[in-house]
Every structure is written in structure tokens, then in C-alpha cells.
Amino acid sequence: HQKQVGPDLFRVFYTIWKETEAEAQEVCLPPSVVEHIDESECVFKLSSSVKTSRGVGKIAMTQRRLFLLTDGRPGYVEVAQYRDLEEVKVFSAPFLLLRIPSLKLRVHGRKEAFEANLKTETELWNLMVKEMWAGRIVADRHKDPQYMQQALTNALLMDAVVGSLQSSKAIYAASKLAHFDRIKMDVPMMIPKTTADTLKHKINVSVELAAPQAVDVLLYTPGQLWVSVSGGKMMVFDASSWSLIQTCQVGNAKLNCMLGVDKDQVWVGSEDCVIYIISIVSMVCNRQLTEHRAEVTGLALDTDKISHKVAYSCSAEGTIIVWDVSTLQVRKQFRLSCDRLLSVHSCSKTLWCCSRDSIMEVWRNGTLKQRTSFPEHQRVTLSFTLLLAEREELWCVFGDSTEVYIWHIKDTVRLFHRMVLPDCIGCFGMIKVKNQVWVGGLSLSSTKGKVYVIDAERYEVLKELHGHGDKVTALCSAEDRYVLSGAGKQDGKIAIWKVD
């Protein structure tokens, strides 16, 4: 079975692909037509002039809809938006003693079907419209516009294949590209109701990149979403449209943590031992703090008794630095004895510091107040800690455990509570929203990403959300209205969830 395409055939295919692209760009729509479609819409395919049940003209295909560009004085007749389609099929329309191949579309809310005598173009348009319709179904189901873009590419590939083969096998070959029409009813493409009701939107952060990238850290500042992907790449999205507004390079190493400071700065801790300070207004890195000697793993903010803002940073080898936010000078520096310091939290008069092997409460001068070690079998797997100061609780999750450990900060000698998360291999992030704790993890049954929503007062799992193709690696909250989750490189997307 031959899998390869010869150079001559590929040359014809590529030429037709580019010619179709050029033809689409040359389509000049009059203002009376343009006013009916969105600014971002483009005509990607135009049929020859055909007779339809709504008049004579050319059928235009955009990424959102089909419409008829009527002959004579060009006019606009809406045929259907893809999400409103109910049936797409080929039929033979009687004409004198002949039967002409035609396309029939049934549209939600309309009694009369739309019919077009597309003749030799009928089979191709049938395939293309079905693929766009299926792409819309899958995109709506997953709240992910990227699927619609992929469906459009598939439809245009079908067009190029039919144009380049010019044989009876052309339609059969093109049908092999009908990816979404084939999979739309597959079980993996179906989404559980709880997930569908909670999921609002998806952002593909890897769309402009050569390969999917893991989402390492997420941070929300008013009106903006900050995303770090591998190799120091930072992306900033508009939080109303979720469109990309800026990218910047922050070193070349993996970024571990982010912190919004003073409404005009974002501090970013990197594996290269540097804290990068980025202006929220210009989105440019304008300062670097280079006092750490190991990778920066955690950042926290506090206001001391004289109302001077101070920030805390920690690095993997145990160093904690106290910064004066206004002057960016080091106020204090001390080192804890531990195995890979992961995070620092400020609470009342002490700092809570978590490492791979223990939890430490430390006075602000660096003196150790108390230390709690983890059970031996979990020494190397602590992945994330969350301090709930108002509840005086410290929550911990582990990279290869199904359990959430909860300590009361006034008594860390004994474990206060332990939860077992259903269908879970491990957890990699947590965030508190209202009276809930959201935990990002990896599903045991599907080995895909999963988000658990926990009632923080009753310690009960309220929801299990399935929205990622890889483990959930990052979480943040947008003003307690939405939670955003980012996943590993097999997924490379951000899901936006509605908070109850």
C-alpha cells in the first residue's frame, strides 16, 4: 500500500493549494455583503455560479458560515452558520429528463431546506461542509476554537486533493481527510456533562509554535493572563477576548513561579537563578535580581508592620531572600537545611517553607520554629503546597500520590486530615477560590489531565473535570469568577472554568 506522493503530483497539489489561497484573498465583497459577516471572517472557497433554492449565485464558505453571493448586483443571502446545520446530504434534482447532482442542507429553525445544483462540485462541497459542521460540533463541545481552524484546513486540503487528482478516485481520496466528520461521535470526543457545564473556553498557547509546549506557570493580573511555556517564553493574553497581545523572552531557562507586585510589576523566578521583573504596562523586562545561587522556586508577598511591602523568594538549595519592594534591595537573607526548597508562604509572624522532605515554620529572622517531616515513602514527591491562612491550614499534594495532606498550622506534629482523590495518579498544583480548593492532577483511568474541585470546609470532592490531554501543571484564578488550568506538552492548552 503506497503511502508516499510522487514529486510531480505533490507539485500539482501544492500549486492548486496556493492558487486556491490566492483566489480566496482576491475575493472582493461589496460593503452590502461585508456588513453581514464578522470582521475576522474571510471567504476561503467560492463555488461557480449555480442555481439554488434561494436564487442564482456563488456559494461562499467562511470559517463560520455559508452564504450565497447572488449574481447580477452582488447581494448576500445567508445559507447557514455551521452550528445551525441539522442535515447535509447529496441528492439528485430532476431537470427535464435528467437528474442533476445537488446539495441539500437542513438548517435549525427553517422549514425549507436549502438546495444547490452544484453539479460536478456537489460531492466536494458535501465533504467540505460536513467537515466544517463536524469541526463546529467538536469545537463547541470542547470550547476550543482551534478545532474549527483544523476543520477549515482539512476542508481546504480536500479541495486541493480533488483539484490535483482529476480522477474518479479524487473524492474517495479527499474523504480520507474528513477527520472531524469521522470522529465527532467517538467516545473520546464526548465530554462529561459536569465538565461541559463548567468549561467556558480553551486557549491553545502552542498554535504559533513548532510543537506543543507545556504550560509551566499561570498568573492573572487585572485584564491580563500571563503564561510561561518552556525555555523562558512568556505570553500575555487579553482576559476579555483571550487573544494573544504580547510575547516576550525572559532568559532561556524554564520559569518556575510568577507573582504580581504593586499593580505594575510581574516578578518571575527562573531555573537560571534570576528573578526577572516585567512591567505590566510595557510588558518588557526592565530589571533582574541576581542574588540567588540556585534556581528560584517560589515567590510570596507581604506587608510588614510599617506598611513597607516586602517580597520573599526562595531557591532550591534552601536560601530565602527578603526584598524591599520599593527599593529592590535585600533586607535579609538566610538559608534553611532541607532537600530542595519548593515554596515560601507568609502567615502572621512566621514563614511557612516547604521542601521535598519537610514542612518548616520559620521566624522572620530565619530561626527555625518547628519542622514536620513527611512519611518516608513520600520524601521525594511533594509537588505543591497551599496555605489557607484564614483557616490556619496547610494543604500538600504529591506527584505520585492520590492523597491530599492537610495540617493545622498550630499543630503540625500530627496530620489533621487526609483526603483520597478518586481516579488519580498524582497532583501538581492547587489554588483556593472562594470556599473551594481546586487541584490539578492526572487521571488513573485515562492518563489525561484532571481538575478536582474540593469543598474546603467539608473536605469533599464536588467535581471532577476532564479538560486536558496531559497532566494539569498550572492553575490560577481570575477574580474568583474563573479558574484557569494549564497542562503538559502533550496538551499545550489552557482551559477556562466557571466558578460556582
Task: Write down all domains in the chain, each with its CATH number in brackets.
Answer: 7-189 (2.30.29.30), 193-498 (2.130.10.10)
- pLDDT given for residue 389 in this prediction: 87
Separation of alpha carbons 4 and 402, rounded Å = 46
Provide the percentage of residues in the chain whose pLDDT is more than 90.
71
Tens-place pLDDT, residues 328-340: 999 999 999 988 8
Grid cell digits, residue 112: 425549507
- Cα distances from 323 to residues 300, 301, 435, in angstroms, run 10, 9, 31
HSE-CB of 76 using CA atoms within 13 angstroms? 15
- pLDDT given for residue 415 in this prediction: 85
pTM of the model: 0.83
Assess whether pLDDT exceeds 50 at residue 1. no
Assess whether pLDDT exceeds 90 at residue 16. no
Assess whether pLDDT exceeds 60 at residue 379. no
Of 299, 297, 296, 276, the C-alpha closest to 287 is: 276
pLDDT classification of 373: cutoffs 50, 70, 90: confident
∠ CA 6-8-12, nearest 5°, is 115
Tens-place pLDDT, residues 275-309: 999 999 999 998 999 999 999 999 999 855 555 68
Average pLDDT over residues 310-319: 96
- State the amino acid at position 308 in one-letter form: H
CB 174 within 8 A of CB 125: no
CA diameter of the chain: 97
CB 460 within 8 A of CB 185: no
- Cα distances from 431 to residues 257, 320, 400, 417, 494, in angstroms, run 14, 23, 19, 18, 15
- State the amino acid at position 282 in one-letter form: S
Separation of alpha carbons 251 and 485, rounded Å = 24
Length of the chain counted residue by residue: 500
pLDDT classification of 95: cutoffs 50, 70, 90: low
Average pLDDT over residues 354-363: 90
Higher pLDDT, 373 or 289: 289
- Cα distances from 368 to residues 301, 304, 348, 371, 407, in angstroms, run 20, 20, 15, 8, 18
Pairing label, strands 265-270, 255-261? antiparallel
Q: Report the 10 Å Cβ neighbour count for 265.
A: 20
